[in-house]
Amino acid sequence: MPLTPLPEIMIELLVRNALAEDLGRAGDITTDAIIPVRQKWKGALVARQGGIVAGLDLARLAFRLIDSAIIFSAKKSDGDVLKPKDIIATIQGPARGIITAERVALNFLCHLSGIATATHNLVKAVKPHKARLCCTRKTTPGLRLIEKYAVRAGGGSNHRFGLDDAVLIKDNHIAAAGSVRDAVLRARASVGHLVKVELEVDTLDQLQEALDLPDNVSPDAVLLDNMPPAKLKKAVAMVKGRFTTEASGRVTLDTVKAIAASGVDVISVGWITHSAPILDIGLDEV
């Protein structure tokens, strides 16, 4: 499936806030003091390392909001593979505006491309298997929607966007309800017909409890938490396709293949959003 860009109305405020944060109360005092107002500049956003690009619309918007005379010509699209030295976009126009907006544009682009790249590396590793790679709610506060977008750019899939768009029953919920069964039943009774219910289980006994529920109230998915591949395999065998199966916990580039080989449908990973290093991208004069 091709990647759909986020409507500008969904990202504009993030870019405005980032620019405001950088401009402060006096703007770019260095550039204003030194660069003549009519000077032109031409440059390119260049990958300093290989990876996946994401966030081009945010970068473009950073330049445009500083000076609408800046021409931003994308040579790549979000989700594209970058080799080192690849040109991502060319930028030309008033020198002042380009230099002033540079850091904010790069901060978005490098952060989101870092997430897309980390996601992509896991997705590639999983390739021979059917498992989809998926993010969590462990995102940078305030940036969830663009970080989840970057996960999609990297070929990943999205878990819940918040506490409100799906049910995820965890240990505290089960404890409060008294049993897996009661927790699931309470959830089903409470939410609308377009809300999925996922159940996190730590043991195969808990999984069996879920499987014992009648079809019309059973969970749509089970999250198999922190299970080693062999146990995951057993779980998948027990489920027999009745629920979507999701593996979570201790997923790294080293472990992900074995996890995928267990036959789970989804592998969710927190660190692709909370701990992915940036992808190094620079702005060079051309």
Per DSSP, the three-state class of 236 is helix
Contact 177, 186 (CB under 8 A): yes
Binding span for a copy of itself by CB under 8 A among 13-21, 44-52, 84-92, 228-236 = 13-21
Beta-strand pair 197-201/266-268: unpaired
Binding span for a copy of itself by CB under 8 A among 33-41, 119-127, 202-210, 247-255 = 33-41
Number of residues that bind a copy of itself (CB under 8 A): 104
Instruction: Quickly tell me which residue has 């409060």 as its tokens.
Output: 176
Instruction: Quickly tell me which residue has 């030295």 as its tokens.
Output: 85
Binding mask 201-230 for a copy of itself (x = CB under 8 A): ---------------x---xx---------
Q: Does 187 bind a copy of itself (CB under 8 A)?
A: yes
Longest dimension (CA), the chain: 74
Binding span for a copy of itself by CB under 8 A among 78-86, 167-175, 225-233, 247-255 = 167-175
Per DSSP, the three-state class of 48 is coil
Binder to a copy of itself among 116, 119, 159, 272 (CB under 8 A)? 159
What 8-state DSSP symbol labels residue 216?
Answer: T
Contact 207, 238 (CB under 8 A): yes
Q: Does 80 bind a copy of itself (CB under 8 A)?
A: no
Closest CA to 117 of 195, 52, 184, 64: 52
Beta-strand pair 81-82/51-52: antiparallel
Q: Which is nearer to a copy of itself, 177 or 204 (CB)?
A: 177
Q: Does 95 bind a copy of itself (CB under 8 A)?
A: yes
Binder to a copy of itself among 116, 123, 150, 168 (CB under 8 A)? 168
Which H/E stretch holds residue 189? Answer: helix 180-190
Q: Does 63 bind a copy of itself (CB under 8 A)?
A: no
Tokens of 12: 């504009």
Name every residue whose Cβ is closer than 8 Å to that of residue 35 and which is 6 or more positions away in sequence.
95, 96, 99
Binder to a copy of itself among 20, 230, 237, 286 (CB under 8 A)? 20
Q: Identify the bridge partners of residue 167 per DSSP, sorted by sequence position.
A: 197
Binder to a copy of itself among 213, 228, 278, 282 (CB under 8 A)? 278
Binding span for a copy of itself by CB under 8 A among 78-86, 95-103, 201-209, 254-262 = 95-103
- For residue 165, the minimal CB distance to a copy of itself (Å) is 4
**Contacts of a copy of itself in 118-157 (CB under 8 A):** 132, 134, 137-145, 148, 157
Burial of 170 (0-12, 13-18, 19+ CB in 10 A): middle
Rounded CA-CA distance 217/213 in Å is 7
What are residue 19's phi and psi, to 5 degrees? -65, -45
Binder to a copy of itself among 54, 167, 236, 260 (CB under 8 A)? 167
Q: Does 27 bind a copy of itself (CB under 8 A)?
A: yes
Q: Does 10 bind a copy of itself (CB under 8 A)?
A: yes
- For residue 221, the minimal CB distance to a copy of itself (Å) is 6
Q: Does 254 bind a copy of itself (CB under 8 A)?
A: no
Q: Does 114 bind a copy of itself (CB under 8 A)?
A: yes
- For residue 238, the minimal CB distance to a copy of itself (Å) is 18
